[in-house]
Structure formats: C-alpha cells, structure tokens
Chain A
C-alpha cells in the first residue's frame, strides 16, 4: 500500500472543516440553557435538518468503508442493505411508530419502554444500549486511527486524541443540536466529497456498461453467472449462485424484516434525531426525508467498491492490496480509489469527507449515550431529585466520560481484536429480538411488562443457541458459531446466511414467548395509562391540510414506489 502524500492545500481544507465544526459548537453554546436543550435540542429542529441528521448519524465508518468493501465483495447485491434492509423500515418507523415515540413525550427509547411496560424492561434496554454506544464509538475511533496511520502515516494516538477531542468539544458546547448541525455538514461533505470519485471511476471503466462487462469476467472467473455482480435479485434463487451465499427468503426475512426494522425502528441513536424535531408532523417526516438520500447512497458507496474490484481484475490503474492471509483487502476499496483518482486539492476534500464520516458515527453514539445515561440510568436509579441544572451538568460530564471510555475501547481494540469480535456478537444477540418487543408493545395492548422482559431474554438466548449450534460453511467452531456441541445441527452456505437466520430465530422466539407470557400474566398498565403508547388506544394523528409532500402517508408511499423502481432497474 503506497502512502498518500498530502500537500499544504489538503491540510488547509481539513483545517477549514475542523474550524467550522468547532465554530458551530461554539455558536450554539449560548442556547444550551436547560437539559432539554442539551439532550433533545428543545424539540426545535426542522424536519429536513432532523432528516439529514437521522441519516448521517448512521453514516459512520462501517457505512462508507464497509459498504464499499461489500460492493467489492458481493457487487450490486449489496444494495439490498439499502433498498430492502433500510428504506421499508424507515417508512414504517415514520408512519406507524413515530406517533408513539414523539406523542408519548418520552425522552428516549428506553424511557418509552418504561412508560409502556415496566422498569426492568427499560433497565435492560438502557444498560445494554449504553454499553453498545461506547463500544461502537470506540470502534469508529480505532478504525479511523488505523486507516489514517496506514494512508498518511499519522500516529495512532494522535488520530485518536484529535478526533476524540474535537467531537468532545462540539458536543459539550452545543449538545444534541451541535451534533445534529454537524451531521448535516458532514452529510454534505460526504456526498460532495464522493461524487467526483464515482464520476472519475465510472469514466475510467467505461460507464455502467464497461463496469458490467469487466465484472462479468470476474464473475465467471469465480464460477458464477456473468451477471452475478451487476444484478441484485436474479441470482438469489439459491445460495450457491450468488457471491453473498444467501437465498431470497432468508435475505428478505432476516435482513429486510428482523435486522433492518430492529435497527431503524428501535435504535435510539437514530430515533433521537426524530425526537428532536419541532412537531409531530416533522418527527414523522424525519425518517422519510432521510430515506430519499439513503436510497441513492448505493451509487456513492457501493459503486466505488465495484469499480475497484473490476480494475483489480482487469489490470486497470489500481489494485486492491492483499491481506496477510492472502485474501483481498476489500476494506481498502475507498482509500485506494481516493489515492489513485484524486490529485492534491480534491484529495484533501476526499479525506476530510472520510474523517467526517468517522466523526459523525462517533458523535451520534456519544449523544445517544449521554442521554440514556443521564435520563435512564442516572436519573432513574442514582439520583431522582436533582435540579435541571444538575442534569445538564451530568450530560456534559457523561459526554467527557463517554469519549474517554471510547478512547479506552479504541486502544483495547488495537490490542485484542478477538474481544471486539466477541462483544460485537453479544450485541447482535441482544439486538436481534428487540423489534418483536416494540411491535407487540405498540400494536397489542395486552402485552405485559413480564411478557416483554422475559420475551427479550428468551429471544437473546435463542440467538445465542442458534449461533452455538450452527456454522457457516468452511468455518471452524468458535467465534463463528458451533461452540455448543461437537456436531453442529446445520451448516449454512455463508456467514451472512447464518446471521440472517440467527436474527429470524431470535425474533420469532421473542415474538412467540412475549405473547404466551403476556397471556399468562396480568396486565400491569390500565388502558388509561397506555393512551398515547399503544395503537388502538391512541387517537389517530390529524392529517393537517398541507401540500402532499408534507403529509407522512403520501410521502411514505412515494418513497416506496421509488425504491421499487430502483429494485426493478437493477434486478
């Protein structure tokens, strides 16, 4: 891997970005008067800003680098993570779930669980979520430091502390508003930094037709049908005919339903952005507005990966580097593309965009952490009677501690890679069943606190058992699965197929057990208490007399039509 030499102009662009990020935090400082300003932006954010922040908070390192890597590995089928595994869930959360999140006046997702079910369900969710955010922001930092070390020769500790201190400063100063405003800035930076990359890459390979032609050679070389990398649905009939190793049912149910609805509809990291919106209508439109650019992101992040792999196989201007074990290092797709197409100047913009994506991922996690810590853990269990000023102070303190813990995580990750894989697995177990709990909680008034709590625990255990009893093809027992018995029950064609089915099992067990246990236990909340929290007991939100694109239902249907068209074009 050749080092990139940055010129003075590139550093100037990076410094301009840093100056604006910090300046926004500084300018917002005087508006942070109450804890609600700090944690919820005083519920004053317009829909389009909340929408872009909703998208940007999810646009962390794993998004840009990871989706390009998947594009290189699996081709256009990676778009399923967007057009199947994100958009439908985003439309659902906006139209059907936001009325309860926003209308209940809950300040966080765990707090909604407390209002709807009981204290223990909230506690379980709050603690696992808080741990997870710290872990993810640490991983984001680690990935940034590793990449910038490799590309620019920056010192590991230098990268960690610079990114950590900048994120810390702008959140402590301006709270959630500062994070949201910076996410909007980062959104534009990522889009405008990557468009020239896609343009130059496509021009170099001869447009979509040239790319299709080159990738058909790669596909036949790997033993697939020629279109396996450039057609998203045609090869999903059997796991053996597509590079992902999945079949359509497992993909649609596992990714499109369980995993995607679990993330977009219950993860406070994104839901928090909609909760900060300035009206019910704005909150409902937040995920829908986010869905429009989200739909187009495959062209920005997946295409560079596909171009990189096409060039590597056809003796183009660049080659993906090899990893120590002899496999291709797909994670380097974006960095290698930046290094080979961008001259000094634009290179500064591209690297700043990359930096912005790491920072927005980090900041999203930290703002979600400080809110859940302060409201759901500190105020609920440790100090119930503090003044509002005290909680505002605690929010700032939690931000500092959250960043420090992320730094520790980043150093740990650089030492013990296995611990990170292990933690990631545990969180996957905890997350997989969550959507069943929310679905029953919002749409079935008979669901009880005991039912929800035990259903979640049993769903998590189901995920654990499924993982422990199965293995992906070609893997050895251990972190990949099969650690419970010597003779595994089922061998999946790929790791992805195994993941999807782990999620499907966890969800189904949680769904079924929550129903059974709820029927066996007494209802712990009266219908009066559940008003505003459950569908059948909540008055339907009045559709205002506004133009169609300001009405969530019409907007949502339009988004679904557009995404269907995209699926058909790349079928």
Chain B
C-alpha cells in the first residue's frame, strides 16, 4: 500500500500533543486538583509530541528510501 500508517499516526499524536501542551500552559492550574496536582496536560502532551515525531520520522525516512 502506498500509505505508510506511521505518517498519519505521527501527525495525529503530534497535533493532539501540541493541543495538550498549549492547553497545559494557558489553562487555570486549579483543574489539576483532579490529577494530584500534576500538570498532566503539559507533561503528557510533551510525551505525545515526542512519540508523534518518532513515528512520523520513521514513516518519512522509509518513504524517501
């Protein structure tokens, strides 16, 4: 198949990760009482961005080769 699934997976998690990071920075910190005082949006958002980049890179490299 001409479409490498890692590219859309990478893009989707990259976008969701960025949304979470931005929201983690701007949102009122009082919402993190639920998550034991941890800014989970920011931290998990960063993890998702990293995951998305790795996936995208793996798919992209294969396509070029």
Q: Which of B1, B19, B24, B27 contacts A31 (CB 8 A)?
A: B1
Q: Which residues of B contact A324 (CB under 8 A)?
A: none
Known: A9-B19, A13-B19, A16-B15. Is A346-B44 also a contact (CB below 8 A)? Answer: yes
Tell me if A185 and B9 are in contact (CB < 8 A): yes
Closest residue to A27 on the B side, CB-wise? B3
- Give the interface SS of chain A, mostly helix, strand, loop or mixed: helix
User: Count of chain A residues with Cβ under 8 Å from any Cβ of B?
Assistant: 34
**Whole-angstrom distance between the Cβ of B38 and the nearest chain A Cβ:** 8
A-B pairs with lowest CB-CB distance, top 6: A345-B41, A343-B31, A20-B12, A345-B23, A181-B5, A343-B34
Interface membership of A12, Cβ < 8 A: yes
Tell me if B35 and A346 are in contact (CB < 8 A): yes
Interface membership of B46, Cβ < 8 A: no
Known: A49-B5, A192-B51. Is A349-B16 also a contact (CB below 8 A)? Answer: yes
Report B's interface with A, CB cutoff 8 A. Answer: 1-3, 5, 8-9, 11-13, 15-16, 19-20, 23-24, 27, 31-32, 34-36, 38, 40-41, 44-45, 47-48, 51
Q: How far is the CA of A20 from the CA of B52 in the complex (A)?
A: 14
Q: Which of B16, B35, B47 contacts A343 (CB 8 A)?
A: B35
Q: How far is the CA of A28 from the CA of B8 in the complex (A)?
A: 12
Q: Which of B3, B40, B45, B48 contacts A28 (CB 8 A)?
A: B3
Stretch from A84-92, A196-204, A468-476 forming part of the interface with B: A196-204
Q: How far is the CA of A192 from the CA of B46 in the complex (A)?
A: 12
Tell me if A345 and B20 are in contact (CB < 8 A): yes
Q: How far is the CA of A184 from the CA of B9 in the complex (A)?
A: 8
Tell me if A13 and B13 are in contact (CB < 8 A): no
Q: How far is the CA of A28 from the CA of B32 in the complex (A)?
A: 41
Total contacts A-B at CB 8 Å: 92
Q: How far is the CA of A105 from the CA of B16 in the complex (A)?
A: 41
Known: A16-B15, A196-B44, A343-B34. Is A188-B20 also a contact (CB below 8 A)? Answer: no
Q: How far is the CA of A190 from the CA of B10 in the complex (A)?
A: 15
Tell me if B40 and A346 are in contact (CB < 8 A): yes
Q: How far is the CA of A23 from the CA of B16 in the complex (A)?
A: 16
- Give the interface SS of chain B, mostly helix, strand, loop or mixed: helix
A1-33 contact mask (Cβ, 8 Å, vs B): 1 or 0: 000000001001100110010011001100100
Interface membership of A44, Cβ < 8 A: yes
With A16-B19, A41-B1, A196-B44 given, can you name 13 additional A-B contacts, CB distance below 8 Å?
Answer: A16-B12, A17-B16, A28-B3, A181-B3, A181-B5, A192-B47, A192-B51, A200-B35, A342-B35, A344-B23, A345-B20, A345-B27, A346-B20
Tell me if B48 and A192 are in contact (CB < 8 A): yes
Q: Which residues of B contact A340 (CB under 8 A)?
A: 34
Which A residues between 149 and 192 are near B, CB-CB below 8 angstroms? Answer: 177, 181, 184-185, 188, 192
Q: Which residues of A contact B27 (CB under 8 A)?
A: 9, 343-345
Interface membership of A341, Cβ < 8 A: yes
Tell me if B3 and A342 are in contact (CB < 8 A): no
Tell me if A343 and B8 are in contact (CB < 8 A): no
What are 29 A-B interface contacts by the 8 Å CB criterion?
A: A9-B27, A12-B19, A16-B12, A16-B15, A20-B12, A24-B3, A28-B3, A42-B1, A181-B3, A181-B5, A181-B8, A184-B9, A185-B5, A188-B51, A192-B13, A200-B38, A203-B36, A204-B36, A340-B34, A343-B32, A343-B40, A344-B31, A345-B24, A345-B27, A345-B41, A346-B40, A346-B41, A349-B16, A349-B20
Tell me if A188 and B13 are in contact (CB < 8 A): yes
**Whole-angstrom distance between the Cβ of A471 and the nearest chain B Cβ:** 45
Q: Which of A28, A45, A342 contacts B34 (CB 8 A)?
A: A342
